[in-house]
Every structure is written in C-alpha cells, then in structure tokens.
Amino acid sequence: DKASIGVTGLAVMGRNLARNLARHGHTVAVHNRSEQRTRDLVEQFGAEGEFRPTYSAREFVDALERPRQVVIMVQAGAPTDAVIEEFAPLLETGDVIVDAGNAHFADTRRREAALRERGLHFVGTGVSGGEEGALHGPSIMPGGSVASYESLGPLLEDISAKVEGAPCCTHVGPDGAGHFVKMVHNGIEYADMQLIAESFDLLRGALGYEPAQIAEVFRTWNTGRLDSYLIEITEQVLAHTDAATGKPFVDVVADQAEQKGTGRWTVQIGLDLGIPISGIAEATFARSLSGHADLRAAARGLAGPARTRLSGAEAERFARDVEQALYASKVVAYAQGFNQIQAGSAEYGWNVDLGAVASIWRGGCIIRAKFLDDIRAAYAAEPNLPTLLTSGEFRKAVEHGQDAWRSVVSTATRLGIPTPGFSTALAYYDALRAERLPAALVQGQRDYFGAHTYRRVDREGTFHTEWATEERRERET
C-alpha cells in the first residue's frame, strides 16, 4: 500500500514531523538528499510506525497515493527552490507540495503562482515549536488553496498540538498567508522575549536580586495571567547553575543575542506596510545592539546616574509593578503584531481570521500562553477590532496597570537600566490615545522646506503656505 504523505528533508525538523505522522498511524514516505539520514531514521525509529524509505525522487513520488502530498522540510531559500524543481516535474495535476520550512512569504507567493500554472497546489506552511513541537505537536499555519486543505488539513490537524481538544492548525488563507502569519509569530516572539529579559534586568538592577530569586518571581508570575511557555522556560534558565563554575548559568553566557532573520523580516514588512510594530522593531534592534561588542566596549565608560538601586517602599512594590508593566507592554506587542497580520491580509486579499490565528497559537508554538485565549475571545467578539488595547479585559488591565507601567519606565530611566521594549510600548500607548500629535508640526516643517502640502482640521482640501513670502499666504492646491 502507498503512503498517504511524504517528507523530504530529514534533518531534525523533517525527521520529527515524519515520526509524528507515523506515530499517528499515517504511512509516511521518507526521503533525503543524502541517503544516510533516511537510513538512520528507519533504523532508529522504524518501529514507531509505517515508514517507506526511498532513495530517489522517482521512488519517493511513486510511493505516494494520489493526490500526492509532498512535505519539503529543508533549508529555506535556494535549497527549497532546488528541491521543488527536483520534484515538481515528477508530479501530476492536483498533487500538493508543502513547504514547511521558514520561507519568506514573498517567496511562497512566487512559488505558489508558478506551481499553480503547472497544475500543482503549493502550500507554504508555518510550523512552530522547534524540534520537540515537530515531534509532539506543533502549531501549524498552512496557506495555499482551499482545495489543498481538503486533503492536507486532516493530516496536519491530526499531528498538531491540541488545546481543549481543538487542533492548533487552521487554513490561514491563500498563497503566502501561512508563512506571513508564521513570520509575525516570530516577530511577536522576539518582542515577548525582550520584555521578559528587561523584567529580569530590572529586578536584578534595581533590587539586586540574584538569578535564582528572580526565577522564583517568574515562577509566581507563571501561575497568573502571564502563564506561558516563555515565562516557564525563563524560570528554568534562571534557576540553572553552570556546572563548571558553580555560577548562575545566565552569568556565564555571552550577552550577545543572535537571530536567524525572521524578526528582521517582520520589521522590514512592517515598514513596507506602514504598520507601527515598534515593540518587535525595538526587540530586533536590542539583539543587534547586544552584538556590537566593539561599540559597547568603546561606550562602556560613559557616565550613568549616581543612584543605581531602589530602596524602601519603592523597592517593596517594584516587583509587582514590573509584572504590571510586563503585562501591559505585552498587550501592546501583541496588538501591534495582530495589526500587522490584519494589514497583510488586507494588502494581499487573504481574509485571515485573527481569532483563529490566536486560537492556533494557544498550543504547540513558542508564544503559547493562556493570554492567547483572551485574544481569541476578543477577535471572536469583534472580528474588526481596530486594536486589542481597546478590547474589554485588555483595556481594563492596561488602564489599571498604567501607573505601575509609568513608574517602572521612569525608575528604569532614573537608574539607567535600558528598557527599550517597555518604553516603546508605553510611548505607543500614549501616542495612540493622544488627542493631538505633534505630527501637525511635522507637516508644517515638510510644507516649509519641500512644499509637501498639508490638510486642515476645519476644511476639506490640500493646502500649501508660501513660506518664502512676507505674507505667508495660504493657497489651496
């Protein structure tokens, strides 16, 4: 009997996805460029289910029942194109190629259009949860055609994470929608991690807590509204002691954060779409700043404030205030990310259901959290919500927490502890709720030096002021 699905590319992610499929009773054809990975998989895990090891593209394609479903799990970029070109000529009308790697959504749009011309379905799908997720149940974000989801959807839903019985997989939208949503997921992940890291830095800097004590604080937070995978692993990392030195693990790790690029893509696309995702941008810049060793070394001697610790009543409330600031800043970061998905959806005609996206992020992925169920509910109640900030519980929480949030940001400023994530989130909140923004002055400056024109608050039309003349006459343009 033939396999119901095939996986090509058997490094950690592909191997674990194939095992997950087999463990769920699906017959899986497996293939990899270098044969050894295929042999290893069958040798080590063959007993877990029905694998069909294959050693050529032809053999792989022939092992699949129709419509064929070929999952590609290789390095993103040129390798993915190479593998598509290897398999596409062997496939027949109606067959489905799934790219489960971390492709840029623009590449996915290009590939989908090209393969559609050739009668093939191309599904770019986001997969989050790392190697453990791939094996035990990831969050899966497939794009592509509705027709392809009919055959593919049930398989993907079967192997995805489940939350209260609901699969963490849904058809996100056409062509590149799945990879776009995965990209924003990663951007939000950057922002969330940065906010958590700032919370740690504040507790350590302002209160002088040791990492183990801070782990305890996170453990407590994880029992409340911040309950999430990222808080949970933060607690584990902070509680870990380095075996070689006996020091807190976090103190022996080089403080230069790296990135594979999905955060950068999110920021680039945010700029292209004109969506202010300042939380994700600051988080991405914070990683890049940390990596500039020479720049940091050159600046290390610059003067800071005289006072660097809190004391007394301020110190007593501080940890509670940080929790409030973290929550409020997190709401802002997620609000911005969801607005970016909304904008991408409008730009490309994807019709993405934001509530469904929040729902499939509740489990399996890196940003999985209790919080996402509240986001799901917010969009379920109001699908065209302009911003999460004004929605019921979030509004209440942010308004209630704003004093603490302001106090934490000002304390950080006074003590010289950098909090780009907290600060930009608060600035966004204040800018959004402002009656008037100084953008009016910017328009005046633009009109002055470049005759860029402006609109007025009291009349329709476009205006320009003749700044060079004595009278500074205004005329409608």
Residue 271 CB neighbour total at 10 angstroms:
12
Whether 182 is catalytic: yes
At 266 the three-state DSSP class reads: helix
Alpha helices in 349-391 (DSSP H): 354-360, 371-381
Q: Choose the catalytic residue: 112, 157, 182, 330.
A: 182
For helices 420-433 and 392-415, the axis angle rounded to 10 degrees is 130
Backbone φ/ψ region at 152: left (φ over 0), alpha (ψ -120 to 50), beta: alpha
Closer residue to ligand NDP (CB): 103 or 398? 103
Q: Are strands 51-53 and 5-8 parallel, antiparallel or unpaired?
A: unpaired
Is there a binding annotation on residue 222?
Answer: no
In the bound state with ligand NDP, the residue whose beta carbon lies nearer, of 26 and 37, is 37
- Please check whether residue 30 is in contact with residue 10, taking contact to mean a CB–CB distance below 8 angstroms: yes
CB of 39 to ligand NDP, least distance (A): 12
| Active-site position among 112, 157, 189, 282 | 189
Q: Rank residues 83 and 331 by Cβ distance to ligand NDP and give the closer one.
A: 83
Give me the DSSP letters along 9-54. Answer: --SHHHHHHHHHHHHTT--EEEE-SSHHHHHHHHHHHGGGS-EEE-
- Would you mind telling me the total number of residues written for the chain in this entry? 477
- Known binding residue 13? Answer is yes
| 339 has binding-site annotation | no
Cβ of residue 11: shortest distance to ligand NDP, in angstroms?
3
What is the phi-psi region of residue 170: left when phi exceeds 0, alpha when psi lies from -120 to 50, beta otherwise? beta
Instruction: Say if residues 269 and 277 touch (Cβ distance below 8 Å).
Output: no
The verdict on whether residue 395 carries a ligand-binding annotation is no
Structure tokens at 250: 């976090």
With respect to ligand NDP, which residue has the nearer C-beta, 38 or 234? 38
Would you state the structure tokens that stand for residue 253, as one six-digit string?
Answer: 């790790």
* Gyration radius (Cα) of the chain, Å: 26
To the nearest whole angstrom, how small is the minimum distance from the Cβ of residue 73 to ligand NDP?
Answer: 5
Q: Which of 34, 477 has the CB closer to ligand NDP?
A: 34
Least Å distance between CB 302 and ligand NDP? 38
Active site residue 189: yes
Chain residues binding ligand NDP by CB under 6 A are 9-14, 32-34, 37, 73-76, 79, 82-83, 101-102, 127, 130-131
Expressed in angstroms, the distance from the first to the final Cα of the chain is 73
Confirm whether residue 75 is marked as ligand binding: yes
| φ and ψ at residue 327, rounded to 5 degrees | -65, -45
Residue with nearest beta carbon to ligand NDP: 101
Closest contact distance (angstroms) between CB of 138 and ligand NDP is: 8
Helix, strand, coil % (nearest 5) of the chain?
60, 10, 30
CA distance 309 to 292: 27
260 is in an annotated binding site: yes
The answer for residues whose C-beta is within 8 angstroms of residue 442's C-beta and 6 or more apart is none
Structure tokens at 319: 């940890």
**CA gap 333, 328 in Å, rounded:** 9
Tell the smallest beta-carbon distance from residue 107 to ligand NDP (Å).
11
Judge whether 436 is annotated as a binding position: no
Q: Across the strands, what pairs with 7?
A: 30, 71
Q: How far is the CB of 82 from ligand NDP (least distance, A)?
A: 4
Q: Write a three-state SS string for 204-261.
A: HHHHCCCHHHHHHHHHHHCCCCCCEHHHHHHHHHHHCECCCCCCEHHHHCCCCCCCCC
Closer residue to ligand NDP (CB): 12 or 252: 12
Residue closer to ligand NDP (CB basis): 75 or 245: 75
We find the least distance from the C-beta atom of residue 67 to ligand NDP, in angstroms, to be 23
**Is 207 annotated as ligand-binding?**
no
Query: Is 76 within any annotated ligand binding site?
Result: yes
Both structure tokens of 299: 């600046």
246 is in an annotated binding site: no
Residue ranges at the known binding site: 9-14, 32-34, 74-76, 102, 128-130, 185-186, 190, 260, 287, 446, 452
Residue ranges at the known binding site for NADP(+): 9-14, 32-34, 74-76, 102
Residue ranges at the known binding site for substrate: 102, 128-130, 185-186, 190, 260, 287, 446, 452
Query: Which residues have a catalytic role annotated?
Result: 182, 189
